[in-house]
Structures are given as C-alpha cells and as structure tokens.
C-alpha cells in the first residue's frame, strides 16, 4: 500500500519504518526541514533500539522516503496517518493545533478518496474535529471527495517500540466504515500472522481506549509507590509484598515496581487529559487526581531521604517537601543543607533504553538537590544531550558512570539501566568519599549492600 505519515516524531517514525519494512511504500512528512535533511542522511533524531538499522535499510531499498512536501505525500498515498505532537496545555488539555493543521493540509491536497488515520494520542471527539477540518478545506476549494476518518491509537513502549509495533498485544481500529476497516486489516495483516489481535470498534471507544490504558498503568505505579511508603513506616519489605500480590493472575507483576514515580511523554500528559475531559462533562476523576498527587510527591521522596540522612550526619538542614507547585516550575526557597556535598547521579532519562527526558523524575530530583546547594555529577548511557537542554551547565556530565563517583558524598540511582545493576561494588565504594547509596529504583538488595559496607536507602525496603 501507499502510505503517508505526517509527523516524524517517536510514533510517526517508528510506524512509518515498520510499515515500510513490511513492504509498503511510505512517505514520511515533517515541517522541520533540518530533521528531514538528517533523516535523508540516515541520522535518527531519537534513540530507539533497532530503529536506525531499519530506517537505513528501507530508505536504501526505496520503500521509505522523507520530505517536507505534504501535498506530495497525500497525493501519492491512500492512507494518511496523522502522528504529530499533542502537547499539554496549561489546564492539562491536549493541544490539537498540529493535528487539525495536518487535517487541513490533507484536505487541501486530496484528489480522491483517502483514509485519514489519527495515530496521535488525542481526546475523545477529535475524529469529529478532523472530519470537520477536512470538509472545511474541501469546501473552500469547491471540491467534494469521499474520505473516512479512523482512530488507530498507538501502544508503543519507548525502548521496545519495534517489537511492540511488529508483535503487538492488540491493534485497535476505530471506524464507522466497513470499507476502511477492511483496508486497515489488510495493512496490519503482516503483524497478525500468529493470532488475530486486531480489534475493530467505534471511533470514540478507540480514542478512549488509549487514555484508559495509560491511566490504568499510571494508577498501578502510584498504587505500588503508596504501598512501598507504608511498608517503610511499618517495617515491611515492598519487594516481598510485590511478590505476594504479583503472583495473583488478576493483578500481575507489570508496572508494580516502586520507585521515584512515572514520567515520559505519555502517562503524565494522558492522565491530565482524561481528568480534563471528565471535567468538561462535569465528572470528577478522584482516583486519577490522587494518582497524580502521589506521583508528584514520589518524585521528591528520595530528596527527603537525602536531606534527612545528612541532617542526621551534620545536625543541620531541613526536610524539603514536594508540592504540586514544582509542576508549575516554582521551587521552594533555597537552603544550604547540602552545601558542598557532591552527589552522583546514575540515570537521567525517564526510563531505560531511551533518551527521552520529558517529565523525567531526574528533573525534579536534580533541581531540588541544586536548590539545596549540592554539586551534581551525572551519567546516562543515552540521555546526556537531552539533559543538557534541561540543566545546561548547572551540573557536570560524565561519560563514564564510575567518573561520577570520584569524591561523591552519595550516589543516587534514578534510572534502572542494566549497566547499573551489577557494577564493581568494591570499586564504587573506593571511589566514593562516603559509601552512601540512595536507590530510587530498588535495583540492589539492602542486606547485600550493607554487608559490603554501604549505607543504603531504597523505596519501601527494610
């Protein structure tokens, strides 16, 4: 099939590349000329395992093209995917200006029947707005062409996106057109060879499915963090509790990992958007508001632990309380409770196997540590360049994770990259000024760490 993908961000680039790799002719369109120039040279703007090789192969084979010419992409294609960004507004709602701009561009370039697919994560009712935008553009031009609008939400995990796309748990197709449904089934058939996991439903249910899925996963994360915090207070071990509940098939282990909270481009934005949508209909999403509140608090919990540790050590300092004001970019008055302390950071991206810093817990943690006077050295296998856009020269960036430790008063684990799981602990201890570890992802065993001579703090661990 001939496909146009509008938007070469994370979703658009992965989708376009995987469709091309299954034999389709794909034209990826973006208004960012510099990005298109780099993509045509084989330079990938994001880090995703396996993506660079697929892009180069399909570009060389002629199945994958990149251009800034939307009209060309639309005219050459039957199916036009809208995969542009939907950034959150100040009130938590999704900004649809890029989606609707793409829809108008499609309407302007159409010369016959098209299937227009919403691949971006969008609020319920967006398909109606896309349809109206296309119809409005056609009316301006005095043209009338048939077209169908389809909702096809993405369920990609950063760091595993290629597998998620080519071996999906499910593919959701929202449409009121039997004809469009059959074409979409054919498009996805190469990824349904073992079992048919394609689900066809009405458009609004498809739009809601994406938000509901992410809200549920975010809820599991905040829930296990709440239980972990209680475990610390009562002397239980969250790792044992997690095993005890995760073995229940009704609950499972997925997303039951306590830590410093969730981040990224999806969970924070989607939870806010569903709360906002509910508010528009007069409904108060009390559970999801609590999920948000827990996540804000959790991002600062490890800072509280650090401050309390050095307060006990130095008999100075004060506990820093995290509030939702941090989300708005405001910070508490600076203190000097960590003045002169060297804090090493392992992990900056919001999760392993990505360079994505959007809403990363490391941002809240490091900014608050800086506010207390701490000096920060940090290492991340992939997110250093993105981190520099956030912190600039306020912290030091080390190319080797052991370099972070030289003279450090404490080490903070924020992202659970595999290379951090089993380091040379004797080397770690010898490099540090004080062998203190604050494990924000519970990747180490407390008893083992203490037996090796470390002062160890986890999340919900005893």
Q: How far, CA to CA in Å, does 228 sit from each of 64, 301, 356, 364? A: 47, 11, 26, 20
| Cβ atoms within 10 Å, residue 178 | 9
Element (H, E) at 25: strand 25-29
106's CB contacts (< 8 A; 6+ apart) are 6, 70, 74, 80, 82, 114, 116, 134, 137
- Nearest one of 321, 296, 318, 323 to 307, comparing CA atoms: 318
Q: Known catalytic residue: 4?
A: no
**Which member of 4, 28, 231, 266 is catalytic?**
266
What distance in Å separates the CA atoms of residue 101 and residue 328, rounded to the nearest whole number?
28
User: Cα 163–166–167 angle (5° rounding)?
Assistant: 70
Q: Are 114 and 102 in contact (CB under 8 A)?
A: no
Q: Are 172 and 5 in contact (CB under 8 A)?
A: no
- Nearest one of 18, 308, 398 to 171, comparing CA atoms: 18
142's CB contacts (< 8 A; 6+ apart) are none
Q: How far, CA to CA in Å, does 30 sit from each of 5, 36, 80, 85, 205? A: 9, 7, 13, 11, 29
- Nearest one of 86, 50, 239 to 163, comparing CA atoms: 50
What distance in Å separates the CA atoms of residue 340 and residue 337, rounded to the nearest whole number?
9
What distance in Å separates the CA atoms of residue 332 and residue 351, rounded to the nearest whole number?
27
What distance in Å separates the CA atoms of residue 227 and residue 55, rounded to the nearest whole number?
43
Q: Taking the C-alpha atoms of 269, 330, 296 and 445 in order, what is their torsion angle to the nearest 10 degrees?
A: 120
109's CB contacts (< 8 A; 6+ apart) are 70, 71, 73, 74, 75
What distance in Å separates the CA atoms of residue 307 and residue 365, rounded to the nearest whole number?
12
Q: Are 431 and 405 in contact (CB under 8 A)?
A: yes
Q: Which residues pair with 81 in a beta bridge?
A: 5, 117
What distance in Å separates the CA atoms of residue 59 and residue 17, rounded to the nearest whole number?
9
Q: Write out the catalytic residue numbers.
A: 266
């Amino acid at each position: 099939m001939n496909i146009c993908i509008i938007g070469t961000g994370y979703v658009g680039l992965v989708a376009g590349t995987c469709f091309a790799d299954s034999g389709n002719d794909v034209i990826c369109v973006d208004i960012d000329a510099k990005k298109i120039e780099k993509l045509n040279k084989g330079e990938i703007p994001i880090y995703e395992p396996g993506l660079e090789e697929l892009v180069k192969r399909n570009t060389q084979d002629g199945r994958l093209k990149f251009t800034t010419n939307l009209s060309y992409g639309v005219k050459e294609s039957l199916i036009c995917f809208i995969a542009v960004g939907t950034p959150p507004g100040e009130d938590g709602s999704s900004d649809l200006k890029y989606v609707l701009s793409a829809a108008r561009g499609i309407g302007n370039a159409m010369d016959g029947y098209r299937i227009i697919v919403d691949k971006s994560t969008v609020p319920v009712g967006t398909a109606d707005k896309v349809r109206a935008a296309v119809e409005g553009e056609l009316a301006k031009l005095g043209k009338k062409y048939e077209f169908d609008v389809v909702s096809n939400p993405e369920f990609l995990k950063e760091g595993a996106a290629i597998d998620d796309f080519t071996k999906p748990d499910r593919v959701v197709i929202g449409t009121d057109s039997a004809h469009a449904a059959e074409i979409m089934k054919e498009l996805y058939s190469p990824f349904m060879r073992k079992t048919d996991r394609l689900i066809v439903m009405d458009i609004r249910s498809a739009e809601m499915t994406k938000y509901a899925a992410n809200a549920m996963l975010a809820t599991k994360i905040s829930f296990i963090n709440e239980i972990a915090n209680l475990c610390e207070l009562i002397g239980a071990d969250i790792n044992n509790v997690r095993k005890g509940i995760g073995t229940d098939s009704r609950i499972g282990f997925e997303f039951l990992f306590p830590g410093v909270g969730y981040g990224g481009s999806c969970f924070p934005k989607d939870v806010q958007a569903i709360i906002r949508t509910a508010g528009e209909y007069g409904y108060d999403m009390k559970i999801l508001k609590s999920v948000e509140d827990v996540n804000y608090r959790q991002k600062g919990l490890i800072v509280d632990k650090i401050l309390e540790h050095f307060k006990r050590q130095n008999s100075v300092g004060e506990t820093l309380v995290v509030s939702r004001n941090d989300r708005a970019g405001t910070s508490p008055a600076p203190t000097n409770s960590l003045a002169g302390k060297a804090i090493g950071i392992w992990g900056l991206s919001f999760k392993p196997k990505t360079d994505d810093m959007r809403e990363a817990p490391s941002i809240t943690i490091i900014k608050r540590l800086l506010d207390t006077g701490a000096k920060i050295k940090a290492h991340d296998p992939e997110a250093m360049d993105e981190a520099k856009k956030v912190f600039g020269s306020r912290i030091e960036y080390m190319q080797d994770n052991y370099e972070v430790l030289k003279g450090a008063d404490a080490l903070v684990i924020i992202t659970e990259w595999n290379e951090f799981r089993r380091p040379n602990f004797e080397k770690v201890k010898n490099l540090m000024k004080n062998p203190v570890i604050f494990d924000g992802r519970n990747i180490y065993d407390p008893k083992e760490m203490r037996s090796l001579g470390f002062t160890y703090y986890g999340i919900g661990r005893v």
